[in-house]
């Protein structure tokens, strides 16, 4: 149980340690009789529990929980992230689970990822040997349960660049029940409206519709200049997606529903 | 062993007291609290953060103790329900409110619910409904339907009242105190910490051959006390709830027939099992081709699960009357369709768990069960022991709903205790509970119904196949019950219904609230709406016109002279039906993505065994000190049997419930009150309690020599009778007690009068039926396919409500399960073996429910009462499907109606 980041990184460099923060993914995935002998608890590490803001952007430390995000005073651009935080599992999960844990777990249905993509988030990675590096979130998650994280590295935080003051944001999650539900599909949108309330710029990210949540760049370009309620989502816009059939819904359904979900998220973000 | 990894002591404050513990790295806080610090009020339902039963406050914030590394509690405060109840007056008030609303049924989720609520109430003392839902959304409840919990947390006016508890009054649950204070003892709460544990080795395949390696070498490992296989069974390696169909081995031999089937068990010290990887157990599996659906299972080349059951057909059921074929040919209109449903998991929050030990050479099993005497009889066979050598002491049951009727942990515990001579415990993990416990039968039903132009049913032809899985369990009961009930509560003179139970390599399907009737009702009640639609008739009036009545034969030819309450139930829905339909029409006028629909459906259910003996015995006594003791062996699994049966007994005896002391259930001290199934406890055991109370009263009155109109009371050891002549006293201490210490005693048995069914299913299958009709309003998001029920109105004929609050509790809970079956629940082996892939409704999914209690007294029920538990969820699913049709024009014929399914059907209809 290290108290300093440097100490933690040394433990990681020795190998075999399992990083745990809120435990909300570590324990459900635990296999009978196969627990590691060393757990590295990042919640004890000084300075990792803070949401900090400066001119350079916003930083979420590795131990920042969903409840911390909800409680933090953040600009409107973060509304989608806050909404996603409120949709993570339950109060119990939000009080324990961390945003960084969510991206490191790299579930295709990770609730936080679309909102972070729509904020252009970057991931801060540290190791004892190589020091600090940072990568775009879109490059950090490389596949289902796969990340660009070496065994001796840990994510120390998420950095979000300064957002336009006028940025408005919304999150939509579709599930088969109200609480404690894994998304069928979800959308996070950050948009800036011009004086005529037309879309000046947009970042639109979709989760649970491909191995890794992703932004729909063609759509982002095509919506520019449109009134928010005039957006149409075409199959071509959704071409980058490759949803699967699973117990939560069919691939065809996900593609069908996500188009409408995007439309609604844009309208919600615009506040119309 | 992880013991060497235990580090410097962990120190924190638990319920205002400093504590220390020495967890190994990564050990869950829940385990440290329960096993090292004695906080057994922290309940474990899933070990994955899916159920919230283990919620504690960590520095004031609710977290799942099962997801919290124990080390994170260092220097913090941890509060659990038991601690809060002891020291926090607001928690005590909340506990009273839970009791006053019947918000704790089985009580297994109650610690999680109340702890979460305490955190909310510390922030705001007058929370809104939405705030309560957000705060409690992380805790699953399978019993209550959540509405009573919302009422309790919001501080709605109390429903329960003080008083003598006479039949017809809402008194608090007599066994509710420990449930709201953290004191209740469930299956995994009995064993002493550190005792030997049993770990069951299960098949990873739906069908597999297997061979063991060096079991002796494994058994010789340090920390392993014994290994158990079929070879260790002293009696017969077979069990089953229906003797002539008993076919399930305790441990499979040679071939495992479903994923999750037990083949062996390890008895070991907890320290060994922490590190035990099941893949290291010496068994070699050879996967074999499996039949995992009823079509494949009936093909010629399919493997036979049981040699004597050709083509994997276990058995069938049949009822016919009149001339259905001719009637259908002559009908003015007919409708026909096929309806399908999947496996449904009971989803009780308490996994199967128990403890066993040897006491004076006898084996004693403490476990959660719905049927203690059946457990005992099964163990007699398996252990090859006389029943006098076995004692079953049921613990509190954290939900059952049918699956805890079958043996689960009991044989493993008993065998382990016998083999080792030491106390042993076993608690299933959530996934092994889901893999190995019984399920609701998947169904594949084809139904054709005809009607005259005037709207009278003329001809009904039903054929249903049910996937009964690898073993019979209660499959024969489903096969028998379905043809009797498939008509619904209607007068149908030309009728044919046939059912078959088909074996597959799926988990055994067994008893689940309704025994196949909910599946049949989906077909029948959906087609009734289609028929009404085709005839241009109002669906509710169409049902009323065809409703069964007193003096009218059922499809089995049974004629009730009183107590047929379905017409009254349906008529009670008329005001809401008119009002809600008008509101929906106005709501739908503008074109919008949300469409509102109103649906209605009905149901009936026969209480007790189908044309078979089904007795209950209740013993009672009064001792020389004036203590009135009720030996109550009818398992209370949260539904309220302890309270209801006591109310009936007290009413018959003529004393207030406060004078009654309940003992049991325990096979050493309570006579057999049968199993808690088939909605029989209020009716059958209730009647036995009534007879016992009346017999006790008659003895007392005779002894005092007063008439039957005398009023009784107790003043210490003095029994007082008052009548028109005045006050008569009897000093109980002067009477000679019997061997059990009773100066008066009465043991009475009740068995429902039934008549066997003939080859055409004609006879008297049940002495009584209960009736139900539900109305539901749903909002369907056309573009997304999501269905949101916004209101239920539920009319139930219960003959006589013994305790109206508990009636409402059953109605709410049944509706929640029916809603889950309709919209979200389907168990699929491998894919949904946990409570985040298998979804049951949360507190945010159950809308307000208006309960209308109809009381058409039954000729046989105690004070006219009828059973209720299973009746409730029969109309719920078809009512929802009918509402979806009304909202969208789309008929869903398969449940669950997930958003994916509903949207794809809407797309199909649009194209």
Report the sign of the C-alpha dihedral through residues B20, B26, B29, B34, in that order: negative
Q: How far is A154 from chain B (nearest CA, A)?
A: 18
Q: Find residues 644-683 of chain B whose CB sits inside 8 Å of chain A.
A: none
Residues B726-748 pLDDT 10s = 999 999 999 999 999 999 999 99
pLDDT-derived band at A3, boundaries 50, 70, 90: confident
**pLDDT higher than threshold 70 for residue B725:** yes
B837 touches chain A (CB under 8 A): yes
Structure tokens at A28: 């459900």
Task: For B789, name the nearest residue in chain A, comparing CA atoms only.
Answer: A177
Q: Which of B2, B48, B138 to mutate to test the interface with A (most CBs of A within 10 A)?
A: B138
Instruction: Give yes or no for residue B684 having a pLDDT over 60.
Output: yes
Q: Which chain A residues are closer than 8 Å to B273 by Cβ?
A: 33
pLDDT at residue B911, as a whole number: 86
B784/A261 touch (CB, cutoff 8 Å), yes or no:
yes
Give A37's pLDDT tier (boundaries 50, 70, 90): confident
Q: Give the tokens for residue B489.
A: 């509560």
Residue for token digits 């340690």? A17
Q: What is the CA radius of gyration of chain A?
A: 19
Give the pLDDT confidence score for residue A44 in this predicted structure: 87
Q: Which of A41, A177, A246 sits opposite B71 (nearest CB)?
A: A41
The answer to whether B640 and B173 are in contact (CB under 8 A) is yes
**Residues composing chain B:** 911
Predicted confidence (pLDDT) per residue in B184-241, tens digit: 999 999 999 999 999 999 999 999 999 999 999 999 999 999 999 999 999 999 999 9
Instruction: State mean pLDDT over B470-491.
Output: 98
**pLDDT confidence tier of residue B15, bands split at 50, 70 and 90:** very high
Q: Across B276-378, where does the E strand assignment appear?
A: 283-287, 313-321, 333-341, 344-345, 353-359, 362-367
Which residues is B396 bridged to in the sheet? B186
Q: Which residue out of A65, A98, A177 would a mutagenesis test of the B interface target, given it has the greatest number of B Cβ atoms within 10 Å?
A: A177
Residue B1 scores a pLDDT above 60? no
Buried b (16+ CB within 10 A) or exposed e, A55-77: eebbbbbbbbbbbbbeebebbbb
Question: For B657-678, b where at least 16 C-beta lie within 10 A, e where not — what string?
Answer: bebbebebbbbebbbbbbbbbb
| B7, pLDDT greater than 70 | no
Q: Indicate yes or no: CB of B900 within 8 angstroms of CB of A180.
A: no
Closest to B481 in 3D by CA, of B604, B342, B615: B604
* A168 pLDDT tier (thresholds 50, 70, 90): very high
Mean residue pLDDT of chain B comes to 97
The 10 Å Cβ neighbour count of residue B351 is 28
Pick from A32, A39, A92: CB nearest B64: A92
In a mutational test of the B interface, the residue from A90, A184, A258 whose CB has the highest number of chain B CBs within 10 Å is A90
Q: What is the pLDDT of residues B558-604, one digit of tens each?
A: 999 999 999 999 999 999 999 999 999 999 988 889 999 999 999 99
User: Rounded to 5 degrees, what angle do the CA atoms B860, B864, B868 make?
Assistant: 95
User: Is residue A196 exposed (0-12), middle (13-18) or buried (19+ Cβ within 10 Å)?
Assistant: exposed
DSSP state of A44: G
Q: What is the mean pLDDT of residues B844-863?
A: 98
3-state secondary structure of B190: coil
Q: Which B residues 57-86 touch A at CB under 8 Å?
A: 58, 61-64, 66-69, 71-72, 74
Distance from CA of A162 to the nearest CA of B (A): 31
Of the partner residues B47, B55, B837, the one whose CB lies closest to the CB of residue A92: B55
A/B interface, count of CB pairs below 8 Å: 163
**Separation of alpha carbons B515 and B462, rounded Å:** 17
| Separation between Cα atoms, residue B660 and residue B721, nearest integer Å | 17
Closest residue, chain A, to B24 (C-alpha) = A37
Tokens of B567: 């017409």
Q: Which one of B137, B269, B834 would you mutate to disrupt binding with A, by most A Cβ within 10 Å of its Cβ?
A: B137
Chain A closest CA to B378's CA: distance in Å? 31
Cβ of A27 within 8 Å of Cβ of B28? The answer is yes
B900 to A249: CB separation less than 8 angstroms, yes or no: yes
- Count of H helices and E strands in chain A? 9, 13
Residue among B594, B615, B717, B731 at smallest CA distance from B673: B615
Q: Rounded to a whole number, what is the distance in Å from the CA of B1 to chain A's nearest CA?
A: 10
Contacts of A32 in chain B (CB under 8 A): 276-278, 429
Least CB-CB distance to A33: which of B5, B275, B837? Answer: B275
Q: Which residues of A touch B275 (CB under 8 A)?
A: 33, 35
**CB neighbourhood size of B902 (10 A):** 25
> How far apart are alpha carbons B497 and B482 in whole angstroms?
8
The whole-model pTM stands at 0.98
Q: Is B520 left (phi over 0), alpha (psi -120 to 50) or beta?
A: alpha
Which run of H or E residues covers position A264?
helix A251-270
Q: Which residue has the tokens 């089904």?
A: B614
Residue B168 dihedral angles phi and psi, to the nearest 5° = 105, -5
Distances B485 to A59, B334, B477 between C-alpha atoms, Å: 63, 20, 12
Q: What 3-state class would DSSP assign to A265?
A: helix
Q: How far is CA B246 from CA A41, B9, B471, in A?
A: 51, 52, 8
Q: What is the pLDDT of residue B661?
A: 98
Query: Using the beta-carbon criterion (under 8 Å), do B839 and A92 form an inter-chain contact?
Result: no
Residue A272 pLDDT > 60: no
pLDDT at A1: 61
Q: Which member of A18, A37, A176 has the closest CB to residue B5? A: A37
> Which chain A residue has the Cα nearest residue B897?
A176
Residue of A nearest to B430 (CA): A28
- Least CB-CB distance to B278: which of A1, A33, A93? A33
């Amino acid at each position: 149980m290290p108290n300093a980041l440097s100490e933690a990184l040394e433990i990681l460099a020795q190998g075999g340690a399992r990083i745990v923060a809120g435990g909300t993914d570590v324990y459900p995935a635990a296999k009978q009789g196969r627990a590691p002998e060393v757990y590295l608890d990042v919640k004890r590490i000084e300075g990792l529990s803070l949401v900090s803001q400066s001119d350079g952007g916003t930083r979420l430390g590795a131990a920042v929980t969903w409840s911390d995000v909800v409680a933090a005073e953040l600009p409107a651009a973060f509304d989608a992230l806050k909404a996603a935080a409120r949709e993570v599992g339950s109060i119990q999960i939000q009080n324990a689970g961390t945003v960084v844990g969510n991206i490191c777990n790299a579930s295709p249905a990770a609730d936080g990822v679309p909102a972070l993509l729509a904020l252009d988030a970057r991931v801060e990675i540290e190791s004892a040997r190589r020091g600090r590096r940072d990568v775009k979130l879109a490059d950090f998650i490389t596949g289902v349960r796969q990340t660009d994280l070496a065994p001796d590295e840990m994510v120390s935080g998420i950095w979000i660049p300064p957002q336009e003051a006028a940025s408005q944001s919304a999150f939509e999650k579709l599930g088969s029940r109200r609480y404690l539900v894994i998304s069928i599909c979800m959308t996070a949108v950050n948009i800036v409206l011009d004086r005529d309330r037309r879309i000046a710029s947009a970042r639109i990210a979709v989760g649970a519709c491909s191995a890794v949540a992703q932004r729909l760049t063609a759509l982002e370009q095509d919506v520019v200049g449109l009134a928010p309620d005039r957006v149409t989502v075409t199959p071509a816009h959704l071409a980058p997606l490759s949803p699967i059939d699973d117990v939560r819904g069919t691939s065809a359904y996900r593609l069908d529903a996500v188009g409408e979900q995007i439309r609604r998220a844009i309208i919600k973000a615009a506040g119309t | 062993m992880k013991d060497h990894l235990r580090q410097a002591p962990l120190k924190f404050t638990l319920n205002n007291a400093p504590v220390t513990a020495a967890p190994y790295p990564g050990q869950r806080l829940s385990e440290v609290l329960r096993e090292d610090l004695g906080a057994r009020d922290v309940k474990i339902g899933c070990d994955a953060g899916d159920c919230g039963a283990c919620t504690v406050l960590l520095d004031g914030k609710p977290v799942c103790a099962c997801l919290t590394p124990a080390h994170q509690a260092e220097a913090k405060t941890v509060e659990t329900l038991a601690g809060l109840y002891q020291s926090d007056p607001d928690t005590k008030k909340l506990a009273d409110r839970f009791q006053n609303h019947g918000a704790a049924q089985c009580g297994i989720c109650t610690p999680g619910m109340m702890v979460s609520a305490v955190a909310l109430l510390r922030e705001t003392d007058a929370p809104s409904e939405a705030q309560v839902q957000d705060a409690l959304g992380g805790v699953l409840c399978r019993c209550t339907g959540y509405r009573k919990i919302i009422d309790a947390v919001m501080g709605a006016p109390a429903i329960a009242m003080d008083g003598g508890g006479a039949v017809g009054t809402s008194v608090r649950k007599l066994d509710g105190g420990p449930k709201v204070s953290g004191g209740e003892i469930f299956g995994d709460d009995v064993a002493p910490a550190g005792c030997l544990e049993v770990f069951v080795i299960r098949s990873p395949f739906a069908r597999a051959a297997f061979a063991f390696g060096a079991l002796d070498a494994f058994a010789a490992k340090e920390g392993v006390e014994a290994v158990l296989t079929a070879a260790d069974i002293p009696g017969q390696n077979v069990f089953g709830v229906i003797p002539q169909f008993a076919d399930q081995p305790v441990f499979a031999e040679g071939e495992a027939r479903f994923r999750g089937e037990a083949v062996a068990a390890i008895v070991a010290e907890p320290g060994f099992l922490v590190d035990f990887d099941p893949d290291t157990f010496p068994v070699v599996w050879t996967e074999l081709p499996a039949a995992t659906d009823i079509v494949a299972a009936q093909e010629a080349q399919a493997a036979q699960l049981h040699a004597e059951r050709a083509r994997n057909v276990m058995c069938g059921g049949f009822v016919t009357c009149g001339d259905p074929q001719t009637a259908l040919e002559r009908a003015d209109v007919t409708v026909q369709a096929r309806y399908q449903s999947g496996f449904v998991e009971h989803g009780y929050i308490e996994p199967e768990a128990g403890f066993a030990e040897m006491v004076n050479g006898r084996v004693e099993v403490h476990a959660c069960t719905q049927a203690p005497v059946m457990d005992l009889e099964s163990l007699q066979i398996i252990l090859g022991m006389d029943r006098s050598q076995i004692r079953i002491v049921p613990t509190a049951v954290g939900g059952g709903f049918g699956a805890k009727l079958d043996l689960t942990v009991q044989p493993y515990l008993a065998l382990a205790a016998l083999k080792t001579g030491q106390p042993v415990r076993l608690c299933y993990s959530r996934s092994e509970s889901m893999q190995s416990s019984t399920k609701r039968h998947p169904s594949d039903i084809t139904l054709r119904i005809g009607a005259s132009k005037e709207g009278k049913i003329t001809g009904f032809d039903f054929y249903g196949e049910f996937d009964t899985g690898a073993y019979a369990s209660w499959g024969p009961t489903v096969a028998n019950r379905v043809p009797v009930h498939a008509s619904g509560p209607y007068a149908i003179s030309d009728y044919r219904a046939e059912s078959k139970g088909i074996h597959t390599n799926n988990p055994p399907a067994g008893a689940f609230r309704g025994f196949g009737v909910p599946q049949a009702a989906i077909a029948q009640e959906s087609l009734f709406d289609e028929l009404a639609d085709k005839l241009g008739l109002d669906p509710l009036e169409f049902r009323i016109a065809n409703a069964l009545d007193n003096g009218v034969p059922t499809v089995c030819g049974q004629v009730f002279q009183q107590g047929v309450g379905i017409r009254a139930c349906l008529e009670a829905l008329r005001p809401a039906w008119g009002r809600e339909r008008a509101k929906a029409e106005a709501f739908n006028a503008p074109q919008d993505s949300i469409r509102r629909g109103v649906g209605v459906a009905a149901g009936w259910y026969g209480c007790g065994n189908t044309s078979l003996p089904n007795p209950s015995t209740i013993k009672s006594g009064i001792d020389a000190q004036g203590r009135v003791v009720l030996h109550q062996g009818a398992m209370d699994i949260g539904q309220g049997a302890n309270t209801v049966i006591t109310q009936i007994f007290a009413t018959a005896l003529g004393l207030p419930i406060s004078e009654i002391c309940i003992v049991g259930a325990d096979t050493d001290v309570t006579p057999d009150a049968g199993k808690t199934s088939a909605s029989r406890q209020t009716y059958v055991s209730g009647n036995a309690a009534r007879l016992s109370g009346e017999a006790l009263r008659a003895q007392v009155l005779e002894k005092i020599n007063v008439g039957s109109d005398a009023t009784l009371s107790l003043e210490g050891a003095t029994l007082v009778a008052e009548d028109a002549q005045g006050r008569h006293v009897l000093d109980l201490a002067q009477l000679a007690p019997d061997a059990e210490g009773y100066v008066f005693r009465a043991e009475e048995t009740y068995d429902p009068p039934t008549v066997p069914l003939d080859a055409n299913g004609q006879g008297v299958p049940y002495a009584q039926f209960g009736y139900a009709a539900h109305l539901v309003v749903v909002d369907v998001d056309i573009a997304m396919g999501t269905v949101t029920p916004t209101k239920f109105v539920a009319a139930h004929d219960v003959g006589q409500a013994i305790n109206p609050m508990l009636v409402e509790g059953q109605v709410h809970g049944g509706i929640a399960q029916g809603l889950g079956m309709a919209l979200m629940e389907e168990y699929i082996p491998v894919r949904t073996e946990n409570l985040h892939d298998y979804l049951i409704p949360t507190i945010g999914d159950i809308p307000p429910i208006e309960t209308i209690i109809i009381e058409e007294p039954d000729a046989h029920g105690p004070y006219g009462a009828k059973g209720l538990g299973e009746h409730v969820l029969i109309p719920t699913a078809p009512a929802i499907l009918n509402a979806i049709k009304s909202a969208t024009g789309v008929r869903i014929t398969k449940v669950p109606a997930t958003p994916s399914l509903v949207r794809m059907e809407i797309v199909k209809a649009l194209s």
